Amino acid sequence: MPVFSFLLYTLIFVLIYILTSPLWRKFQKHAPCPFLAAPIIGHLYILKPPITQTFANLTVRFGPVLSLRFGSRPVLMISLPSAAEECLTKNDLAFCNRPSGFLAGKYLGCGYISLTWAPYGPHWRNLRRISAVEILSSHRLQLLAGIRADEVRMLIRRLISAAADGDRAVEMKPAMFDLTMNVMTRMIFGKRYYGIEGEEEAKRFREIVAGTFRLFNEICIGDMVPYLRWLDWRKEERFKRLKEEREILMRELIEEQRRNMKEISDEGERERKDQRPLIQVLLKLQESEPEYYKDEIMLGIMLDLLIGGSDTSAGTMEWALALLLNHPEVLQKAQLEIDTHIGNERLLEESDLCHLPYLRCIITETLRMYPPAPNLIPHESSEDCVVGGYQVPRGTMLQLNLWAIQNDPKIWDYPSNFRPERFEGVDGHRIGFKMMPFGAGRRSCPGEGLAIKVVGLTIGSLIQCFEWDPVDGKVLDMAMAPGFNMHRAEPL
């Protein structure tokens, strides 16, 4: 009898909860919730790959501001420019944190001390200052322009060699990935690690990077349901092994640079001093400010730059070239612009990009249709706030559905059509909060300038130097692969 009473009271409690929770939510003015949350997993059951399309479908069906629950985490999903603006301007400070308890933050974010994963505070602000002033400033990027030009020239020679060998089809995805990775490794370490065979250090480095990208796209149930973390034990073991291998290699590189660094006092050697790799810049700063430049902090900075500045740019270039192959009239117009401005007597240079507005429109339209991070890395509210008239409690994970905003037919005319002309006369790659491929607010991507230079120079050079056609004249499939970053399902 007591068991029966317990079950009866439990059933009554569950029914009351189901019947009253919508009324309570309405009374509290919380964002609408489209489905009932399942026990333990919440709304995780509605997520199907590709996640980007699933989020967009939810927006179409239920509206641009939704309240969900991923496991035990409350989630605010935003697909409306005005609501995104509220989150990233009026409430920017409230949403400046990252969710805690993610395996990626613990192991790839070096224990939540990297720029990507660190909580908002003095440490994060210092990392942001270092990135803006010492690493990714316009002056610093200009000093290292030769590296980007050199790697693009190597790619051109690689493709010419393939054509000379009679290769009818060329795999562009690995070539673009090698280019972006070598740009980053030369900027950071002063070394090339891709396109090199038989070198043990390069092989170790490539394996670690490949493992990092694989784990970054892993879905870990414990991130959303902490008391089910034990289900992720195999994944966590892989995270741990990767972290150990990465730290061993990075510390070897740091020690190597310490041994090789020489004090540069001769005024005549100033140019070489300015063009030294990032790791030497950080080690020099460590001498004067050791509390800000500990080895583990330097490791986090270098890893953030390496991961954030390579795969995303390579993906954007792949999408851009695929779109051009499917739209030969756009490709022809871009070729005409480059031929008119530059001609055939010299190769395109980075300084030419500001004089090629149609090329800039092509890149911007590519970023609109296929943003590198279609949902951005989640934010988390550190205090109660109001978004779109709805109450948002402290500890809510903010999921900005960037792809849905940038492909919304209510905002863009024919958003599924590739139309670079829509950006003619528009300055920059961000248009308010309806177009922000690099995010906005305090947590926006600090590497936007570098990404635009690498993508612009590479795509412009490929257009200038070659005639392009799809294999067998077929229209390319533009389906998206599953994962958190946006890649083509069929590599180019």
Closest CA to 454 of 196, 157, 179, 190: 179
- Where b means 16+ CB within 10 Å and e means fewer, 446-470 reads bbbebbbbbbbbbbbbbbbbeeeee
List the beta bridge partners of residue 431.
435
Residues 36 and 176 in one domain: no
Is the previous residue joined to 374 through a cis bond, with omega within 30 degrees of 0?
A: no
Q: Rounded distance, CA 398 to CA 76, Å?
A: 5
Query: CA angle, corner 132, sides to 77 and 300, nearest 5?
Result: 70
Contacts 24+ apart (CB under 8 A), 46-53: 49/482, 49/483, 50/480, 50/481, 50/482, 50/483, 51/375, 51/482, 51/484, 52/374, 52/375, 52/403, 52/480, 52/486, 53/480
Query: Is 445 annotated as ligand-binding?
Result: yes
pLDDT score recorded for residue 5: 59
Tell me, yes or no, whether 483 lies in a domain. no
Residues 87 and 147 in one domain: no
List the beta bridge partners of residue 97.
380
Tell me, yes or no, whether 101 lies in a domain. no
Domain count for the chain, please give it: 2
Side chain identity at 320, as an amino acid letter?
A
Tokens of 467: 């005639």
Helix (H, G, I), strand (E, B) or coil at 118: coil
Residues 49 and 153 in one domain: no
Residues 210 and 344 in one domain: yes
Tell me, yes or no, whether 284 lies in a domain. yes
CA atoms within 13 A on the CB side of 449: 13
pLDDT score recorded for residue 110: 82
Q: Rounded distance, CA 311 to CA 401, Å?
A: 20
pLDDT score recorded for residue 268: 46
Tell me, yes or no, whether 108 lies in a domain. no
Tokens of 299: 């490791």
75 secondary structure, DSSP code? E
Crossing angle for the helix pair 172-188 and 448-465, to the nearest 10 degrees:
140
Residues 138 and 91 in one domain: no
State pTM to two decimals.
Answer: 0.87
Residues 159 and 36 in one domain: no
Helix, strand, coil percent values for the chain (each to nearest 5) = 60, 5, 35
Residues 73 and 184 in one domain: no
Residues 212 and 69 in one domain: no
Q: For position 200, which CATH number holds?
A: 1.10.630.10
Residues 50 and 194 in one domain: no
pLDDT score recorded for residue 25: 46
pLDDT score recorded for residue 340: 93
Tokens of 85: 């603006």
Helix (H, G, I), strand (E, B) or coil at 97: strand
Side chain identity at 295, as an amino acid letter?
D
Residues 57 and 182 in one domain: no
Tokens of 63: 């509206």
94 secondary structure, DSSP code? T
Please report, in angstroms and rounded to a whole number, the separation of the first and last CA atoms in the chain.
67
Tell me, yes or no, whether 263 lies in a domain. yes
117 secondary structure, DSSP code? T
Please spell the DSSP secondary structure of 368-397, one letter per residue. HHS-SSTT-SPEE-SS-EEETTEEE-TTPE
Q: What range does the domain containing 80 cover?
A: 2-95
Tell me, yes or no, whether 430 lies in a domain. yes
Tell me, yes or no, whether 313 lies in a domain. yes
Per-residue pLDDT tens digits of the chain, which is 492 residues long? 455 555 555 556 555 545 545 544 444 577 788 778 888 888 888 888 778 888 888 888 888 888 999 988 999 999 999 999 999 989 999 999 999 888 888 888 888 888 888 999 998 998 888 888 878 888 888 888 999 999 999 999 888 887 776 666 778 888 888 898 889 888 888 888 777 665 777 788 888 888 888 877 777 888 888 888 888 889 889 988 988 888 888 888 888 888 877 655 444 455 455 568 888 888 888 888 887 788 888 888 888 888 777 778 888 999 999 999 999 999 999 999 999 999 888 899 999 999 999 999 999 999 999 998 888 889 999 999 999 889 999 999 999 999 999 999 999 999 999 999 999 887 766 677 888 888 888 888 888 889 999 999 999 999 998 888 877 777 888 888 777 777 787 877
Residues 217 and 71 in one domain: no
pLDDT score recorded for residue 27: 42
Tell me, yes or no, whether 487 lies in a domain. no
Tokens of 122: 């003095």
Q: Report the DSSP pairing between strands 73-78 and 65-70.
A: antiparallel
Residues 87 and 37 in one domain: yes
